[in-house]
A and B are shown apart, each in its own frame.
Chain A
Amino acid sequence: MKIGNYQLPNMSSLLLWGLLWEIIGRSGMTFFVPPLSEVVMTLFSVIGTPAFIKALSETAYAFFAGVFFAIAIGVPIGVLMGKSRLIDELLLPWVNMFLSAPLTALVPVLMVLFGFGMKSIIITTTLFAIWIIILNTRAGVKQINRSLIEMARSFGATARDAFFKIYIWAALPEILNGVRIGVIRAVKGVIIGQLLISIVGFGALFELYSANFLMAHFWAVLIVLFAMAFAVSELLAYLERRVSYYASTR
């Protein structure tokens, strides 16, 4: 943002919105929006409490486990789809369908299948993240220069060598891009899973806060979640930029 000739630092527009929030909160228009200053104070008081730490660690566990499975399953499937016409034709319609399906509707089914616990939340997270990872990996593999694969073959690469030394790396820019979007979706997945199951992690906290009309607490936790999602996505964007130097020269 620019005022006159003065270049304001990045994201200084957030200050403006923070100010607006504060004013609305102070005016007492709605109990739903307490002043930002109160939210921030609450945030600091809440952050050290055992309930918060428990919620955070449970959420982090579900999130990382979900993302781990999404990558560990999604990338190999994407590579296979990129390599083999047959597998591609078998799987692509399903992947596209799940990519745009309202997965939230599936969560109750998952709860019935896998119980009201961590397992269902992890699976929900994986389901939110995996499809875009598969699709991007597939796109990355499809554009690999044929010569690289022939080169590896001519020097005697095994299928395993080719996977770990050629496919993964040659498709890395697209894979990272898919993982970044997948991670953002995983944040949604982990929260939605917890809200619907609402006896673990932040789901339990939200339940507690909203039942007791503790709106400042509610917002404080939400800000923490946003900040975490943003940090993870920025980290991946940074990794993506690190490999972009060869994305154009493959």
Chain B
Amino acid sequence: MSQTKEAFAKATALDTEIAVSTRNICKNYGAVEALKNLSLDFPRGQLTSLLGPSGCGKTTLLKIIAGLLEPTSGEVEVNGRLVTGPGPNRAFVFQDFALLPWASVMRNVAFGLELRGVAKSEREAIAERYIREVGLAGFEKSFPHELSGGMRQRVGLARALSVDAKVLLLDEPFSAVDEQTRRKFQEDMLNLVAHENKTFIFVTHSIEEAVFISDQIAILLPRPSRVSEIIRPTGFRNRDMGNIRRDPEYLDIVDQIWASLRSYVE
């Protein structure tokens, strides 16, 4: 009796640990099989990277979790609830930024809150804080076509952060920013993960970036894609950020991932 109770307690504890879980996801676009039988759990409060060759279905998986796409079969649970569509517990950073070209940076960043019916003064105060946080202070009144690619990407990032969702879905959020800013953002991201109890699902093409910021890295195979490997860097997570890139475990994992991905590049 006590044994089952214990097992039950353990199971529920495990349950709450998992913020997002995908089970046996298949997704076909007509004849194209983008995802096949993909199952993956995303622990709460951690950052999971999806790493894989271009066109392997990373964006597709992210959109299915966001509720923007219906999987052909399989299911997604967020906080134990089945996903049937978009919801306020998830925010998306789009690969192509998806900014309103006719709206200022301020309105773009506040747009998520606007759609949720937050009063103008309140949402602009929140937006202003995140505009500053992504380093765009002074550009509040600019329009997207007046910004560089990297700056636009940061507007999309600020918009997703400002709605304060528990799960953040980031589709190559740093792909257009310069290397210096990128490193700063990676460090900011580590701080964000450490201090806010949010779950991050992060798509990237950069092996180094994935190893640097992730608690868990899922390597996806090319189409039809499944998870081929899950890597959990642990050793250097609690170290000083400045030293991570010199850590032997960091370098080993980068090499190991490269070894398993290189066959698909050649």
Q: A residues within 8 Å of B by Cβ?
A: 145, 147-148, 150-157, 161, 165-166, 169-170, 172, 243, 245-246, 249-250
Which residues of the other chain, B, contact A145 by a CB distance below 8 angstroms?
96, 98
Q: Is B116 an interface residue (CB 8 A)?
A: yes
Residues of B within 8 A of A157 (CB): 115
Which applies to chain B's interface (DSSP): helix, strand, loop or mixed?
A: loop
CA distance A245 to B103 in the complex (A): 12
Considering the chains assembled together, what is the distance between the CA atoms of A107 and B13 in angstroms? 76
**Would you call B94 and A147 a contact (CB within 8 A)?**
yes
Report yes or no: B116 in contact with A155, Cβ–Cβ below 8 A.
yes
B22-43 Cβ-contact flags toward A at 8 Å (1 or 0): 0000000000000000000000
Stretch at the interface among B2-10, B82-90, B236-244, B253-261: B82-90
Interface size class of B (residues with CB under 8 A): 20 to 34
Residues of A within 8 A of B87 (CB): 156
Question: Which of chain A's residues has its CB closest to B87's CB?
Answer: A156
Q: Give the secondary structure class of A's interface.
A: helix
- A245 neighbours in B (Cβ, 8 Å): 143, 145
Is there an interface contact between A156 and B86, defined as CB atoms closer than 8 Å? yes
Distance between Cα atoms of A152 and B99 in the complex (Å): 10
Instruction: For A148, give its contact among B88, B100, B116, B143 (CB under 8 Å).
Output: B100
Please determine whether A147 and B102 come into contact, CB atoms closer than 8 angstroms.
no
B68 in contact with A150 (CB, 8 Å): yes
In-complex Cβ contact of A156 among B96, B98, B101, B115 (8 A): B115
B145-A154 in contact (CB<8A): no
Closest A residue to B96 using CB positions: A147
**CA–CA, A68 and B115, complex, Å:** 28
Report chain A residues within 8 Å CB of B163.
155
Q: Can you show 5 pairs from A to B with CB atoms below 8 A apart?
A: A151-B94, A153-B68, A154-B67, A156-B116, A246-B102
Do A151 and B116 touch (CB < 8 A)? no
Known: A154-B92, A155-B115, A156-B115. A249 touches B98 (CB 8 A): no
Contact partners of B94 in chain A: CB under 8 A: 147, 150-151
Known: A154-B67, A156-B86, A169-B100; 5 extra A-B contacts, CB below 8 A, are A150-B94, A154-B91, A155-B112, A243-B102, A246-B102
Query: CB of B144 within 8 A of chain A?
Result: yes
Q: What are the residues of chain A within 8 A of B92 when measuring CB–CB?
A: 150-151, 154
Distance, CA A155 to CA B91, complexed state (A): 7
Cβ–Cβ contact A169 & B115, under 8 A: no
